Amino acid sequence: MFSKGVARRALQLQPTLLAKRTKVTLPDLDWDFGALEPHISGKINEIHYTKHHQTYVNGLNAAVGQFEELKTKLDSDPSISKQLVALQQNIKFHGGGFTNHNLFWKNLAPPSQGGGEPPSGALAKQIEAQFGSLDKLISLTNTKLAGIQGSGWAFIVKNLENGGQLEVVQTYNQDTVTGSLKPLVAIDAWEHAYYLQYQNQKADYFKAIWNVINWKEAAKRFDAAA
């Protein structure tokens, strides 16, 4: 049997261990807010990053913390299961928003850092083999983006269950891609990504963003996905 001293030390450690739960934070950006102008304004990037992305960071941390706290009480109060289910929806939404935006920021680069330059290597060969040209892939992606009713995302993905073929996938709200679908490019179609600059002309935003797409990052993801 454990001594009383050991038991006391174990109890003293528990709060410390719980307090060490890792929390997510905003990622560092590789460029200044204004670096993507004139294609995406500095003010949009500032608000998008410091307000919207921060909201998903805060929401995910809060939901995960509440979930862990309630989970410890489930044995004594089975009715808590309803609250856990509700929190799972919060985790899915804010976790998707956090993940999607992390992908989005790395997908962007000013022209001085290679933004807009066509991909090379294996990704370029795959695009040529499947679509005939990069322009045709971009046109398909813009069509998918235009078809999103309300808020959502378009992803160019590598499908590992389909021999590594490229696909363009729509999601709604903050749903993300998982499993065999490996995201190469993520484009935000929520109004907060463009409205301040493009207002209701979202098709112009979809056209403009390709000038700052970081295809080098997409190529790295393509090569790494296995």
Binding residues: 48, 101, 188, 192
- For residue 114, the 8-state DSSP code is T
Residue 187 identity (one-letter amino acid): I
Closest CA to 225 of 151, 154, 162: 162
What whole-number distance in Å separates Cα of residue 112 and Cα of residue 37? 12
Give yes or no for a contact between 181 and 155, defined as CB atoms under 8 angstroms apart.
yes
Coil, helix or strand at residue 129: helix
Give yes or no for a contact between 166 and 137, defined as CB atoms under 8 angstroms apart.
yes
Give yes or no for a contact between 174 and 93, defined as CB atoms under 8 angstroms apart.
yes
Tell me the binding residues for Mn(2+).
Answer: 48, 101, 188, 192
Give yes or no for a contact between 184 and 103, defined as CB atoms under 8 angstroms apart.
no
In the numeric block, the tokens 């001085």 are attached to 112
Give yes or no for a contact between 1 and 10, defined as CB atoms under 8 angstroms apart.
no
Give yes or no for a contact between 114 and 214, defined as CB atoms under 8 angstroms apart.
yes
- For residue 40, the 8-state DSSP code is S
**Residue 156 pairs with which residues in a beta bridge?**
168, 185
